[in-house]
Amino acid sequence: MTSPSSSQVPVPAGPAVDAVQQALAAEHAASWSYGLVSAFLGGDYASALGKGRAAHDDRRELAAAMIRRSGGQPVPAQASYQPPKPVTDAKSALALVVTMESATAAAWRAVLERTEPGSGLRAPALAALTDSATRGTRWRIAAGVTPAAEALPGTPTG
């Protein structure tokens, strides 16, 4: 993805700004996690890992541009992230990717929930939610998780 021109970047307002900041933080963590799991998932997964990381990097760029357009300062990426469970093998690496895709879907769903109609933010937030949900389904299939698809992607669990 090339950097969108500022005229193509929607400007979040009100509660949507905080939601986009949270989505940016989730994208930072997802991108970092793809780097981590690549040490455990090579070969057959290399293409999917590259595409997944690139997609999250693109979403990070877009979310940061949205925040800057709103007059805010984008939350920076951390030097590293603590996975919910240790990543020690292919199985735990697949579990982390599944978790990260669910987390980014939830973050973008929260953006949708806080977006005013006509703001221009709904389309990119829905695209991000759909993208993470689709990629998450593919990773669940690879991990042998059933059901492979979430009934309502991005819905908080528990």
- We report the CATH number of the domain holding residue 33 as 1.20.1260.10
The pLDDT value recorded for residue 157 is: 61
The pLDDT value recorded for residue 139 is: 97
The pLDDT value recorded for residue 117 is: 84
Does the residue 63 lie in any domain? yes
Does the residue 8 lie in any domain? no
Residue type, 149: A
Q: pLDDT means per 10 residues in the chain (158 residues)? A: 64 92 98 96 93 97 96 96 96 97 96 89 94 96 92 72
Does the residue 45 lie in any domain? yes
Exposed e or buried b per residue across 52-68, where buried means at least 16 C-beta atoms within 10 angstroms of its C-beta = bbebbbbbbbbbbbbbe
Does the residue 82 lie in any domain? no
136/98 Cα distance (integer angstroms): 6
The pLDDT value recorded for residue 17 is: 95
The pLDDT value recorded for residue 13 is: 86
47/20 Cα distance (integer angstroms): 28
Does the residue 41 lie in any domain? yes
Does the residue 119 lie in any domain? yes
- The domain total for the chain is 1
Which is nearest to 4 in space by CA: 91, 64, 92, 54? 64
